[in-house]
Amino acid sequence: MKSIIVKPPKAGVEMVDLDLKEKLSAKYILVKTIENGICGTDRGIANGNLSFARVPSGYDYLILGHETLGMVIEVGDEVKGIKKGDLVVPIVRRGCNNCLNCLAGRQDYCETGQFSEIGIRGLHGTMREFFIDEEKNLVVLPKSLKEIGVLLEPLSNIVKTFEAVGLIQKRMIWNCQDSSFECRNAGIIGSGPIGLLFALLSRSKGFNVYVMNKREPSSLEEQICNAIEAKFINMTKDEIPNFDLLIDTSGYPSAFIPLIDKINKNGLLVLFGTTSKDSHPLDTNLVNHIVESNITILGSVNASKNNFIEGVNLLSAWNNSYPELLKKLITNKVKAEDAIPYILNKPKGEIKTVIIW
């Protein structure tokens, strides 16, 4: 079985031929990988920049891959809800089996840090021809989502974030006078796949949406923003409005700290992006603004199965409301045997690159 492996903490990624070694219990589900998405985490591991990447116990390599779309080709005797031919996506993080959040299936809120993640921390990923998993870790998608289902994993993280946003903003009355969110502005720093999925979900919730970057939009970004009635803002020259919800997908303090004074009373800043080697001063004017305006800042990572399930409904809804749009987020499709360069470096103009198996 062709597999794409890494050997963290060393840089480098290669395709090798491996046997499928997982054991086949009555609970097994054998999945043929259809597609993998490539994201910043994959590239960080492949380039040896992410210290948290680790091989599974007993191995000297890690099969990469955590953004997945697969098709079930065989199921064990005890499997009930999933059947041959189903389109499935595996969740990424697997719980510590110890803290209350992991016991309740909310390993995205694991307290011990003893969780694993497929393709990232201690468990083999899905950049290979086949993989085996259990029912509790797989989410089924309708067949109509075959072309965009690989986007479910990144979307699930956005769903989890909005789950927290929705709860936090119950601090007060945040809805508009007609009970909608049509009077609220959401601004998103960054126009990559995460930024655009945040834009889509914010629009679905009714917000006026602004997608921001430090340049003019590409023609594809313009197309996407137009389709969902979002506005693209060139942060270097356009006027920036005030926001009720500001979402940073860049990870750069120098990008989001200067915008804190654009956040309205009772507003919320989401920190979703991570990166390295940036720093920006936070001064008392901004601290006073945060305090006096009841502003909340939310860090959010990962997602649990219920977020994937809600993500399926969202992909379905958008596939109906914006036909053909989500496919445009997948700018590059490469065959597995040609994937290595794409894993090492981001191609120009990419929104999402997908590996086809």
Q: State the amino acid at position 355 in one-letter form.
A: I
- 37 CA to centre of own chain: 10
CB of 187 to a copy of itself, least distance (A): 18
Cα–Cα nearest to 6, from 18, 21, 17, 16: 16
Q: Is 16 in the site for a copy of itself (CB under 8 A)?
A: no
**Residue 218 or 296: which CB sits closer to a copy of itself?**
296
- Contact track, a copy of itself, 24-63, x by CB under 8 A: ----------------------------------------
Q: Which of 12, 241, 258, 323 binds a copy of itself (CB under 8 A)?
A: 323
Q: Candidates 166-174, 186-194, 232-240, 336-344 — which segment interacts with a copy of itself by CB under 8 A?
A: 166-174
> How large is the C-alpha radius of gyration of the chain?
21
Which residues, 248 to 287, sit near a copy of itself by CB under 8 A? Answer: 251-253, 257, 264-266, 271-284, 287
- Contact track, a copy of itself, 130-159, x by CB under 8 A: ------xx----x-xx--------------
**Residue 159 or 355: which CB sits closer to a copy of itself?**
159
Which residues, 287 to 306, sit near a copy of itself by CB under 8 A? Answer: 287-301, 304-306
**What's the CA gap between 139 and 312, in Å, rounded?**
9
CB of 144 to a copy of itself, least distance (A): 5
**Residue 166 or 347: which CB sits closer to a copy of itself?**
166
Tokens linked to 172? 């007060």
Tokens linked to 6? 């890494």
Q: Say if residues 326 and 311 touch (Cβ distance below 8 Å).
A: no
Q: How many residues bind a copy of itself (CB under 8 A)?
A: 85
Q: Candidates 62-70, 167-175, 189-197, 210-218 — which segment interacts with a copy of itself by CB under 8 A?
A: 167-175
Cα–Cα nearest to 209, from 243, 160, 168: 243
Q: Say if residues 46 and 13 touch (Cβ distance below 8 Å).
A: yes
The CA angle 320-349-257, to the nearest 5 degrees, is 90
Q: Say if residues 233 and 255 touch (Cβ distance below 8 Å).
A: no
